[in-house]
Chains A and B, each alone.
Chain A
Amino acid sequence: MNGIGGILRVSLFITCYNDTLFPETGQAVVKVLERLGHTVDFPSKQTCCGQMHWNTGYQEEALPLLPRFIEQFKDSEVVVCPSTSCIAMMKDHYPLMAERSNDEGLKKAVAEILPRVWEFSQFLTQKLGIEDVGAYFPHRVTYHASCHGLRSLQLGDGPQRLLRAVRGLELVEIETLEQCCGFGGTFAIKNAEVSSAMLADKVRSVLNTRAEVVTGCDNSCLMHIGGSLHRQRTGVRPVHIAEILAGE
C-alpha cells in the first residue's frame, strides 16, 4: 500500500506558518505517510519559502530564502509540503528568482529539484497514485479549493477523491468552489474591508452546506475562514485535509 514507486524517503517541508501555528497538520502528514510505509525526515534548518515577501513586493528579501531551501532539500528523494500556496510560490516563482540571481548553479539546482517537490494531496493522488489511505472520519465535510491549488497546481478533484475514500465521511460540495475566500496573504490586512466582504460570502457558502468541518489543502485559507467561523460561534471547524486522512 506504498503506492506507485515503492517505499520513498520523504523530506517534509512544513512551511513557517504550519510549523508555528498548525503543528497538528505536520503531525498528520507524518502519520499518513508512515502509515503508507514511507519514511519521513525533517531537514532542521528550513524556515520559509518566501511567499509572503515575494507576493507583497519584497522580492529582494525573499531571494536569500531560495538558496536556503535548496541547501536543505537538494539531496532529498522527494519533498512534500502541506500548503498549496507555498508549493505554487516555488513552482511559479523559483525559476524567476534563480534567473535573477545570475547564479548558474542555483538555476540548475532549482530546475532539478522542482519536479521532486509535491503538494501533499497531489503527492498522494499523482505521485503515489493512491486515493484510499485507510482513514476514518465520521463527519459531514465540505472542501474549500484554495486558489493556488485550483489554478496554479491544477489539483482538480484530487482532494475530493481522497476525501470520498475516507470511511464515514460525508462530502458536501460547496456552491462557490472556484471563488476566492479573500485571504490573499497580506491582502487580508492591507485590504481588510474587501477581504472581509469576500470572506462573508465564503462563510455563507460554507454554512449553506451544513457541514461540521471545512477542509482544504492550505491552512492559510482555513485560518481565515475558520477565524470568522469562530468569531460567529458557528461551531463549524476548519481541519486540514491531512488531519482527516490521518483519522482512524
Chain B
Amino acid sequence: MSGAGLDPRTAPKFQVAARVLVGDSQMRKNVRHATKVIQTKRAKVVAEMPDWQKLREAGQAIRQHTLRHLDFYLEQFERNCTAAGGVVHWARNAEEARQIVIGLVKSSGAMGESPTEVIKIKSMTTEEIQLNKALEEAGVHAYETDLAELIIQLGHDQPSHIVVPALHKNRAQIREIFMREMNLPDLGGTPQDLADAARRFLREKFLRVKTAVSGANFLVAETGGVCIVESEGNGRMCLTLPETLISVAGIDKVVPRYQDLEVLLQLLPRSATGERMNPYNSLWTGVDPTQKGGDGPRTFHVVLMDNARSEILADKEARQTLQCIRCGACQNACPVYQQTGGHAYGSVYAGPIGAILTPQLMQMHHAQSLPYASSLCGACYEVCPVKINIPEVLIHLRNKVVKQQSSGFHILANPEVMALKAVAQVFRSDKVFRVSQKLGRLAELPLSHKDGQGVGWIDWLPGMLGGWTQVRDLRVMPKQTFREWFEEREKNKQGANNGR
C-alpha cells in the first residue's frame, strides 16, 4: 500500500482490501501491539479520573452546543482572528482549500520570490485534501516534520491511524526507511538512534524553510486563537520559526470559549496517547503586533474548510460525527481495526471514526462499504471522549446505503437486497414464518451430514452464505422448533387435565 494516496473515490471496497491485509502478518503484529500499548496506557489514565464520565458529558455538551450555533462561532472566530492580525479564508471544498493554500504559499516569499518548499505539522485535514500532492504538482515540496508523518513520507507510505500515522510500522522497518532515504548506511536501531537521525534531518529544514503549513486541533471563537497539541516539539518549531504560517482547519474545529479547552485538553491527551497532558500545547492568536521580531510568524492565515461538513450537520441522526476531536481512541479500541490496520479503510480516516466520517465526506457517493466494516460491538462508543454513538451512526448510514441499492434497477443486481426483503416478508406473518422454518429444514437437508454424536452439521453453504462456512460449521435445524415443542406440551397438559 505505498505511493498512491488513500482516496475513497478509487479505493477498493473494505472487504476486498481487508482480505489482502489480513494476510500481512507483520503489519497485523505491529498494529495489534501498538493498539494494545496505547489502550493500556489510556485505560490507566482514564481510571485515575474520578469524574471521567462527567468530563465526557461536558465534552459532548461543548461540542454539541458549538455545532448547534456553528455559524455564529465561526463568524466570531473570523472577527477575532482578523482583529489579532490573522487572515481568514473560506473554502467550500477540498479543491478550493488546495488552491487557496497554493496561492498563499506562492506569494509568501520575500521580495517576490516564490518558495519551493514548506514545512508541515501533522494534520489530518491536509491529508484529507491530499494537499502535499497538490503542492508538489504546483512545484512546492512539503516536508513533514512530525516523526511519524516523516516515516510515512520517506517510506512513500500512507497514514494508517489519525494520531499515530505510522503505527503499522515497527522500529526495524523504520530504521530501514531512514537508512535508505537519509542515506545513513550505519544507522543504529535504538529509538535514540532513530530520533537523532530524524532530528538532524529536520533541524536543517526548520532553519531554512520560511513557510509552514499546519492543521488545528481547536479554533477558539472568543479569542480568535488557534490550538495545536503534539508530543515532539516539532510542531512548536513550525509554529515559531517560519515567517508565514498557513493553518487549514475544518469548520467543525471551533470551540466557543478559551475555557472550553479546560475540558477538551483533558479529554484529548488521555484518550489519544494515554498521557495526562500533551507535552506541547501551543496556542497562538494572530501575529506579533509589534512586528518587531517577537516569536511566531509575521503573516498568519487560517483556511476554514467546509468540504461536506455542512451536509453532515444537516443530517440530524449523523451530525454527532462532527463532535469528533480526532483522538483515535475508537481506532485503538476497534477489534476490526486491530485486525486490518488503517489502510483497508481506503481513507486517511480509518477505524470507526473513518467508517462514519469518510462516506459522509464523500456525500455517500463513495466508500459505501465502510459503514459495514463493523460488528457493532460498541467498543468505540465506550471510549469516545465526546460520546459519539458510532454504532448508531453506522446503522443510520447503512440505511442510506440500502436505500441507494434498493432504488431503480440496482435492486435486481443485488441478491442481498432481494434476500433481506424476502426474509422481512416472512417475519411479518407467523404463519409464513412457520412454513419457512419447515422449508428451511428441507432445503438444508442435502447439505448436512451427521457427526459421531449423530448431530447433523453443514460445512458448506452456497453463494453469499459461503462466508459463514469458510471457517465455521453450522448445526442443522433441530426436528422440532421451540414453538412446536411448547404447543405440543400445552396440548398434552390440557389432554391430561381433560382426562382427569
User: Using an 8 Å CB-CB cutoff, how does the interface string of B370-402 with A read, 1 for contact, 0 for none?
Assistant: 011111111101100000000010010111111
Residue of A whose beta carbon sits closest to that of B375: A184
A231 touches B473 (CB 8 A): yes
Q: How far is the CA of A191 from the CA of B467 in the complex (A)?
A: 8
Q: Does chain B have a CB within 8 A of A53?
A: yes
Question: What is the CA–CA distance of A230 and B268 in the complex, to the nearest angstrom?
Answer: 44
Please give me the residue from chain B that is nearest to A68 by CB atom. B428
Inter-subunit contact B430/A44 (CB<8 Å): yes
Q: List 9 A–B pairs whose Cβ atoms lie within 8 Å, in order of A's numbering.
A: A23-B478, A23-B480, A57-B401, A58-B424, A59-B395, A191-B14, A197-B22, A199-B472, A226-B475
Among A12-20, A111-119, A122-130, A163-171, the one that faces the other chain is A12-20
Complex CA–CA separation, A185 to B375 (angstroms): 7
Q: Which of A16, A21, A188 contacts B433 (CB 8 A)?
A: A16
- Checking A23, A62, A190 against B372 with a beta-carbon cut-off of 8 angstroms, the contacting residue is A190
> Which single residue of chain A is at the shortest CB-CB distance from B464?
A189
B window 317-371: CB within 8 A of A: 335-336, 339-340, 371
Q: Please provide the chain B residues from 477 to 500 with a CB less than 8 Å away from any CB of chain A in the complex.
A: 477-478, 480-487
Tell me if A152 counts as interface (CB < 8 A to partner B). Answer: yes
Q: What are the residues of chain A within 8 A of B381 when measuring CB–CB?
A: 151
**In the complex, B15 has a CB within 8 A of chain A:** yes
Q: Which 7 A-B pairs have the closest CB atoms?
A: A184-B375, A227-B472, A57-B398, A192-B467, A61-B424, A180-B377, A57-B402
Given contacts A62-B424, A151-B382, A231-B473, contact A57 B487 (CB under 8 A): no
Q: Which residues of B does A touch, CB under 8 Å?
A: 14-15, 18-19, 22, 335-336, 339-340, 371-379, 381-382, 392, 395, 397-402, 420-421, 423-424, 426-430, 433, 437, 440, 451, 457, 459, 464-468, 470-475, 477-478, 480-487
- State which of A30, A148, A186 has its C-beta within 8 Å of the C-beta of B486: A30
Q: Evaluate whether A194 and B336 lie within 8 angstroms (CB atoms) in the complex, with A185-B376, A230-B457 already known.
A: yes
Shortest B445–chain A CB gap in Å is 15
Shortest distance between the CB of A149 and any CB in chain B (Å): 11
CB of B486 within 8 A of CB of A42, answer yes
Chain A residues in 8 Å Cβ range of B18: 191, 193-194
A106 at the interface (CB under 8 A from B): no
CB within 8 A of A151: which of B377, B423, B429, B464? B377
Residues on the B chain within 8 Å of A208, using CB: none
**Interchain CB contact (< 8 A) of B15 among A20, A54, A59, A193:** A193
Do B14 and A196 touch across chains, with their CB atoms under 8 A apart? no
With both chains docked as a complex, state the minimum distance between the C-beta of A120 and any C-beta of chain B, in angstroms: 14
When the two chains form their complex, are residues B373 and A19 in contact, meaning their CB atoms are under 8 A apart? no
Contact indicator A230/B473 (Cβ below 8 Å): yes
Q: Which residues of B contact A14 (CB under 8 A)?
A: 482-483
Chain A 214-233 residues near chain B, CB threshold 8 A: 223-224, 226-228, 230-231
Interface size on A, residues (CB 8 A): 67
Once A179-B335, A184-B374 are accepted as A-B contacts, the answer to whether A56 and B402 lie under 8 Å apart by CB is: yes
Given A20-B440, A180-B335, A198-B335, verify A231-B374 contact (CB < 8 Å).
no
Q: Please, which residues of chain A bring their CB within 8 A of the CB of B427?
A: 16, 47-48, 50, 65
User: Which chain A positions have C-beta within 8 A of B335?
Assistant: 179-180, 182, 198
A227 to chain B, nearest CB (A): 3
For residue A143, CB closer than 8 A to chain B, the reply is: no
| Chain B residue with Cβ nearest A48 | B427
CB-based contact A193/B22 at 8 Å: yes
Query: Are B467 and A188 interface neighbours, CB within 8 A?
Result: yes
Q: What separation, in Å, do the CA atoms of A11 and B373 have in the docked complex?
A: 36
Chain A residue at minimum C-beta to C-beta distance from B471 = A196
Q: Within the assembled complex, what's the spacing in Å between the Cα atoms of A54 and B451?
A: 35
Question: Smallest Cβ distance from B23 to chain A, in angstroms?
Answer: 9
Determine the distance from Cα of A27 to Cα of B487 in the docked complex, in whole angstroms. Answer: 12
Interchain pairs with CB closer than 8 A, number: 184
Q: Classify the interface of chain B: helix, strand, loop or mixed.
A: helix
A77 interface contact, C-beta 8 A? no
Scan residues 41-100 of chain A and give those whose CB is less than 8 A from a CB of chain B: 42, 44-48, 50, 52-59, 61-62, 64-65, 68, 92
Q: Cβ of A188 and Cβ of B437 under 8 Å apart? A: no
A248 to B392, CA, bound (A): 42
Residues on the A chain within 8 Å of B402, using CB: 56-59
Contact A20 B437 (CB under 8 A): yes
CB < 8 Å: which of A68, A152, A190, A194 contacts B339? Answer: A194
Assess the B433–A23 pair: CB atoms within 8 A: no
Q: Which residue in B374, B379, B420, B467 is a CB contact (below 8 Å) of A61?
A: B420
- Closest residue of B by beta carbon distance from A29: B482
A226: which B residues are within 8 A, CB to CB? 475
Whether B15 pairs with A227 at a CB distance below 8 angstroms is no
Q: Does A195 contact B (CB under 8 A)?
A: yes
A18-B15 CB under 8 A given contacts A57-B401, A147-B377, A231-B459: no
Contact of B470 among A20, A23, A56, A192 (CB under 8 A): A192
Q: Are A227 and B473 in contact (CB under 8 A)?
A: yes
**Roughly how many angstroms separate A224 CA and B473 CA in the complex, as a whole number?**
9
Complex: A59 Cα to B399 Cα, angstroms: 6
B475 touches A21 (CB 8 A): yes
CA distance A46 to B392 in the complex (A): 26
Task: List, in ascending order, chain B residues with CB within 8 A of A42's CB.
Answer: 483, 486-487
Chain B residue with minimal CB distance to A182? B375
> A175 in the interface, Cβ–Cβ < 8 Å?
no
A24 interface contact, C-beta 8 A: yes
Given the complex, which residues of B lie within 8 Å of A22, measured CB to CB? Answer: 478, 482
Residue A157 at the chain B interface, CB threshold 8 Å: no
Closest chain A CB from B477 CB (angstroms): 6
Minimum Cβ distance to chain B for residue A136 (Å): 22
Residues of chain B with a CB closer than 8 A to A148's CB: 378
Q: Do B430 and A191 have beta carbons less than 8 Å apart?
A: no
Q: Is the CB of A231 within 8 A of B472?
A: yes
Cα distance A184–B395 in the bound complex, in angstroms: 12
Write out the residue numbers on chain B whose beta carbons fall within 8 Å of the beta carbon of A30: 486
- Contact A21 B478, beta carbon cutoff 8 Å: yes
Known contacts A19-B483, A57-B399, A57-B402: A184-B377 contact under CB 8 Å: yes
For residue A34, give the distance in angstroms from its CB to the closest CB of chain B: 11
Contacts of A18 in B (CB 8 A): 482
CB neighbours of B482 from chain A (8 A): 14, 18-19, 22-23, 25-27
Residues of A contacting B471 in the complex (Cβ-Cβ under 8 angstroms): 192, 196, 199-200, 227-228, 231
